[in-house]
Amino acid sequence: MTVTPPEHGSPVPNPESPTDQAPPTPAPTPPPPAPPKRPNIHVTALIVWLTIFPLVAIVSVLLAPVIADWHPVLRAFVVTLIVVPIAAYWLMPQMFRWYAAIERRRAARHADKGML
């Protein structure tokens, strides 16, 4: 017959922490802020133009020594081949993030004025 040492025996309940109580419920978290609404078609057009025009101008000037003698359609193809991915994947999302940040600040400012 083997004897179990006392340190390996069954656990003794702690009287200071009763097990019949439920754990405390966490405080309710406030709902997340609503996503900013999409800009209207005119603001979207302005943001697109502010992104595309400078990019086309810069790329055209930089490539002018190389593509000056090319057919205009081929020049447009090469310029847009460079400009569109840069604008679509990098600059346009950034421009819309900046616009959303401006709108959030504007909404917060209006909310603060309304509380006064």
Mean pLDDT in consecutive groups of 10 residues from the start of the chain, 116 residues: 60 59 72 75 96 97 96 97 96 94 89 70
| pTM (2 d.p.) | 0.62
In a domain, 43, yes or no: yes
Residue 22 resides in a domain = no
For the chain, how many structural domains are there in total?
1
Q: Which domain holds residue 65?
A: 37-115
> What DSSP line would sit under the chain, residue for residue?
-----GGGSPPPPPTTS-TTSPPPPPPPPPPPPPPPPPPPHHHHHHHHHHHHHHHHHHHHHHHHHHHTTS-HHHHHHHHHHHHHHHIIIIIHHHHHHHHHHHHHHHHHHHHHHHH-
* 2: in domain: no
